Structure formats: C-alpha cells, structure tokens
Structure 1
Amino acid sequence: MLKTFVKLVGNARPLADLINNGPLSEDGWFLSWHRKESIDAQGKPIPWMTYPAIEFLSRHLPKNIRVLEYGCGNSTYWWAARAASVVSIEHDPDWYARTRPKLPPHCTLKHISLENEGDYARASLAYDHAFEIVVIDGRDRASCLQHCPQALTDDGIIILDDSWREHYQESIRKLLSKGWRRIEFIGYAPISSARGETSIFYRDGNLLGL
C-alpha cells in the first residue's frame, strides 16, 4: 500500500486522475468530506450509507413506495424524492426543529425521546403493514430491528446501516431465524474514511426482486 502511494505521489498524473475522475470523485466522496455532509458529486443530499447500497437502491426502487425511517437528515430528502410518503422518527429535539421546516408536505417528522428499548424503538408498532421500506439509521438500532417487521407490507424490506456492529448481531440472528434473508453492501460511505456495511433484509416476493 505504501509503495503504491509513493508511486502515485511520484507520478502526479495517476493521482490527479484518481482525484478528478475516480470513483471517489464520481460518487462525491471528496465533496462530502470537504463539507462534512452526506451529499453526492452535485451537492445533492444522499443517505449516509455505503455507496454500493445507494447505487443498488437507486436502480431497483419502485415508484410510490412508503418509507418509515429512524433518524432524519439528508437521507430524508433523498427518500422524499423517491417515495409517495415518508415518516421519520427523530430523537434529537434540536435536529428535529432544524429539519422539520425544510421537509416537503408528504414527509412527516416525529420527535420521540430516546430511551433504550423504549417508545423510540417501538414507534413502528403503531403501524400495521403500512410501509414498503423501513430504514434503520438512527439510535437503538438493535431494538428497532426487532420491532419493525409488523410495520412492513408482505413485499417490504428492512435497511440497516452499520450492520457490521457487534451489538446488532443478536437482533440480526433473530430476524434471520424468522425467515428473513440478508444481503450486505460493503464499501465507502460519504464523509467516512473507513469502509462500512449496509444490509438489506428481505423475504420471498420482495419489492426489489431479490
């Protein structure tokens, strides 16, 4: 790795190509790192999950989906551009107040105080087969993962970001034991300098055709 970097530094052209024309530039990673914001190469908001997951979802998401999201932000704007409706659960009152006025009318933002295994994680239980997608990218993710399946339609999917974390694995095993399957998207994500993992959980007849 060090030898490769030394060679690149010694030859400015491949290094310039990497910065100006490589995948990190095309995906917008350099811009996101500079601005410390989850955005693409054009400065548009994108979810803070791995680029392979974003690319896959961009290609395969059907129209008129309904989304329940844990953790609001740039991802909410991205989902709003693709969904018939979005319900976002946010625990931080300041972030809630800052984000809510910017959302389009078909997005609903709910503030629920955070308590492990409390009302925040159980928010999905208020819905019965109401969403095609549940996105878990907020807090208390292991508990959210356990409670969310009943909120999904029969063809619905669950998206869990940072799914490599050890304290999520027991909830993941429980979900898989109930007939769910998993596909992992591993790679770089906006802002972050380390590779991450985003997982999609699905069943037969899912809306992505997996």
Structure 2
Amino acid sequence: MTVLEFGCGRSTHWFSQLAETVVSIEYDADWYRHVGEQLRLARKSNVDLRLTPLNHPLEVAEQPDYDPVPDYVGILDSFPAESLDVVLVDGHYRTICARRAAVKIAPGGFLIIDDLQRWPDWAHLTIPEDWELVDHSSNGVKSAGIWQRPH
C-alpha cells in the first residue's frame, strides 16, 4: 500500500505500520522535526517525510483554487494517475488537495479528509459522485470522512 498524507503526525506513525510506503507532506518546520525525530527513534524507514513550506502566509484564508498551484499541493503531480492507495488530507490547502488527489487514487483506494466541519457544503470538495462515503465520524466538535473510489 502507498499512502500520501498532507499533514504529518500520529497518522504518519500509524500508516508506517500498515503501508509499504508513506509520503508525508508538512509545512511547519518545528512539527516536521518533531515527527521526524519520532520516526527516527521508531526506526521507520518506509516514511518519506517532506518539509514543503507554504507559498502563502499561514494566516491568509484558504482559496478554492490557486494559479499557480502551491508547491505543497503540486507534490501530487509527482505521482502517476491511480498510483496511491490512500490519500489523507489533514494539512493546509485542504480543498485543492482533496480535489486534485482524486485522479491519483487507485481503484478501490481511499480519500480521507479530516476536519470536514470546515466546509458547510462538501460539494466544494468535488469528490466524484460515484465514490462511496464509507465512513463519516464526529466527536461532536470535529468530523472526518472516508470516501472509496469504485473498483
């Protein structure tokens, strides 16, 4: 299994136990170093942790689209179509990451989006209509969804 995650953390370590390859994109240098040290101590050699600074100030609100595409999102371009088994969107530029990830996910693969409460209407995410929402969970404050691409 090949996993791409936008935003590293606990999920990075968890995925490293399940997947052959985990590519994790992080924009915060301090958090990147913290997670990198945890992975080093755990001897996780199957994680490609990438520090990729944002092209916009953190405090600038996310836009539905960007021209040019931010470097953080552009990492998707380095993966062939249908080559990823799981994409987790839990970092910055969430809307455009979710939109652009769909073509990179293999048949039967999964798109996981954390903090769905950020969008009053999920239509902005443009998840293909034939993808099944296989899980939507909430703790009452935050929510997450998992969509599966048809086989």
TM-score by length of 2: 0.78
* 2:137 is equivalent to residue 186 of structure 1: yes
Task: For 2:150 and 2:83, locate their aligned partners in 1 and report how far apart those are by CA, in whole Å.
Answer: 18
Equivalent residue in structure 1 for 2:144, among 178, 187, 198:
198
Contact 2:7 2:90 in 1 (8 A): yes
Task: For 1:124 and 1:171, locate their aligned partners in 2 and report how far apart those are by CA, in whole Å.
Answer: 19
Deviations 1:26-54 (A, max 9, x none): xxxxxxxxxxxxxxxxxxxxxxxxxxxxx
Equivalent residue in structure 2 for 1:169, among 122, 125, 131:
122
Q: Which has the higher helix share?
A: 1
Give the structure 2 partner of residue 40 of structure 1: none
* 2:4 is equivalent to residue 68 of structure 1: yes
| SS across alignment from 1:105 | coil
Contact 2:112 2:145 in 1 (8 A): yes
Task: For 1:195 and 1:141, locate their aligned partners in 2 and report how far apart those are by CA, in whole Å.
Answer: 18
RMSD after superposition: 1.9
Task: For 1:120 and 1:148, locate their aligned partners in 2 and report how far apart those are by CA, in whole Å.
Answer: 12
Residue 88 (structure 1) shift: 0.1
Give the structure 2 partner of residue 130 of structure 1: 83
Amino acid at match of 2:88: V
* 2:94 is equivalent to residue 154 of structure 1: no
| SS across alignment from 1:120 | helix
CA change 1:167–1:112 in 2 (3 A) is: farther
Please identify the structure whose Cα radius of gyration is greater: 1
Residue 187 (structure 1) shift: 2.9
Give the structure 1 partner of residue 25 of structure 2: 89
Task: For 1:123 and 1:142, locate their aligned partners in 2 and report how far apart those are by CA, in whole Å.
Answer: 15
TM-score by length of 1: 0.58
Amino acid at match of 1:105: S
| Structure 1 unpaired stretches of 5+ | 1-64, 189-193, 206-210
Give the structure 1 partner of residue 97 of structure 2: 144
Residue 181 (structure 1) shift: 2.8
Query: Identity rate of aligned residues, in percent?
Result: 28
Give the structure 2 partner of residue 80 of structure 1: 16
Task: For 2:31 and 2:120, locate their aligned partners in 1 and report how far apart those are by CA, in whole Å.
Answer: 25
